Each structure stands twice: as structure tokens, then as C-alpha cells.
């Protein structure tokens, strides 16, 4: 085993054949411990609330609470837990929404079985993973270089009216904080933290938190 402890995993997938197949693949690797598998988010949270995991593999098209809602709730309850979306959906808006909700990976269900466990391990170690079929979404959200000069690749001056509280929020986004963590750090309600994040996305004209962080890093916004 390559890790100090086993990587704990929950599987939330309503298609039983897919769920059993993925559990078989994960279960063959001694680096993983499967804590449970569920066909809906509501049943999953009854277990997750008692014992959070390192990773949750989450389908988007779940009955009842959908995978986006569930991903947000996982990150609010356990910010250190990594959510790996497993879906057949390749819609740009859904990819962006999943990343904005806190997903660390967006996997289409045709991922090769011998690649699957490597993805989970990379995500556990902090990587962001996008299936090649949807990787264009990240590329579209990146600011485009306006120079071939390494010291001036991007237009640095971005004229946006970001308040001091929004800058504080943005600095916490850069640190990877969830809305719940931002609220705690700033001594505000989760609703207010969510509003600050929404205002930042609107002012920076970006679709998700990841894009906001990229734009903040590649400009002088935080200076």
C-alpha cells in the first residue's frame, strides 16, 4: 500500500450495474476502503453524516436530491472530502456547475477501468481531474495570453469594483475554502458568504470558482 492509511470511499450511483462494476474495480485495490454504496443521496447522507470519507464518487442524475446539490452539501459538511463526479453528461454548464460546487474530478462513464483507481488516488492527493471529453471547459475559462513575453503574458490591470469584503472572500477562495469555511473565517452567515462569491463571479465575468481563482492569480486584483 502506498498511503499511510486506506483511502475511504463512498459510491453514490443509482444504476446498480454501474455501481457494482465500479465497486469491483475499487475493491481490488488494497489502498481503498469502501464505506458504503447508495442509489440516492438521501440514504448516502445518513451514513456520511456519521462517518465522512476521503472521497465520494457521485453520479449527477440521481433520483431526489441531484448530484450537484449533493456535492455542495458534501463540501459544506466535510470540506476535506473530495467529490469525484461520475456521469454520462458532457454539457458545458453541468461541468462548470460541478466544479463550482466543489467537485475535484469530472469523469465520463467510459473511463477505462485500469485508469479509474489512478484518478481517485490523484484526486485524494489534491489533483483536479477532467475527462478529456470535457477538458475544453477549463480551457474556455482561462484568460487568454496577450503576449509571448514570459513577464507579460496576461493583461494585468483588470478594472472591476471589488469591495474589501469581496477581496477577503476571494483570498479565501484561492486557499480552497468552501462557503461554510469562508463564513466561519469572516464571521458571517453562509448565505452572506454565498452572496459574496456570487458577486465575485459576476464582477469577474467567470462561470465558476475555479475560473475566479485563475483570474485572480493572473491579474493584479489582489494587490
Assign 81 a pLDDT band (cuts: 50, 70, 90): very high
Torsion angle of the four alpha carbons 158, 214, 95, 71, in this order, in degrees rounded to the nearest 10: -110
Greater confidence, 149 or 135?
135
φ, ψ for residue 67, nearest 5 deg:
-65, -30
How many other C-beta atoms are found inside a 10 Å radius of the C-beta of residue 157?
Answer: 8
Q: What is the mean pLDDT of the chain?
A: 85
- What pLDDT is attached to residue 150? 58
Please give the average per-residue pLDDT across 198-210, as a whole number: 80
- Structural domains in the chain? 7-140 (3.40.50.2300), 150-217 (1.10.10.10)
- Classify the C-alpha dihedral 51-77-13-106 as positive or negative: negative
- Measure the CA angle with vertex 221, ends 198 and 192; round to 5°: 25
Q: 74, 69, 64: which is closest to 40 by C-alpha?
A: 64
Closest alpha carbon to 6 in 48, 56, 38, 54: 54
| C-alpha–C-alpha distance, residues 154 and 166, integer Å | 23
What tens digit of pLDDT does each residue of 116-139 get? Answer: 999 999 999 988 888 888 877 766
CA distances from 203 to 111, 133, 174 (A): 36, 29, 16
pTM metric for this prediction: 0.67
Amino acid at each position: 500500500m502506498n498511503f499511510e492509511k486506506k483511502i475511504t470511499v463512498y459510491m453514490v450511483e443509482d444504476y446498480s450495474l454501474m455501481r457494482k462494476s465500479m465497486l469491483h474495480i475499487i475493491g481490488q485495490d488494497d489502498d481503498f476502503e469502501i464505506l458504503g454504496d447508495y442509489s440516492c443521496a438521501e440514504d448516502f447522507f445518513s451514513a456520511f453524516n456519521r462517518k465522512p470519507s476521503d472521497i465520494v464518487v457521485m453520479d449527477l442524475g440521481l433520483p431526489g436530491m441531484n448530484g450537484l446539490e449533493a456535492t455542495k452539501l458534501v463540501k459544506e459538511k466535510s470540506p476535506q472530502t473530495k467529490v469525484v463526479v461520475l456521469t454520462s453528461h458532457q454539457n458545458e454548464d453541468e461541468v462548470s456547475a460541478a466544479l463550482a460546487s466543489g467537485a475535484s474530478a469530472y469523469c465520463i462513464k467510459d473511463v477505462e477501468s485500469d485508469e479509474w483507481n489512478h484518478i481517485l488516488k490523484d484526486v485524494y492527493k489534491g489533483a483536479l481531474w477532467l475527462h478529456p471529453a470535457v477538458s475544453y471547459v477549463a480551457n474556455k475559462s482561462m484568460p487568454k495570453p496577450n503576449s509571448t513575453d514570459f513577464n507579460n503574458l496576461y493583461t494585468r490591470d483588470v478594472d472591476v469594483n471589488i469591495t474589501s469584503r469581496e477581496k477577503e472572500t476571494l483570498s479565501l477562495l484561492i486557499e480552497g475554502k468552501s462557503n461554510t469555511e469562508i463564513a466561519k473565517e469572516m464571521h458571517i452567515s453562509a448565505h452572506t458568504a454565498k452572496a459574496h462569491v456570487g458577486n465575485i463571479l459576476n464582477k469577474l465575468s467567470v462561470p465558476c470558482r475555479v475560473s475566479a481563482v485563475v483570474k485572480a492569480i493572473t491579474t493584479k486584483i489582489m494587490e
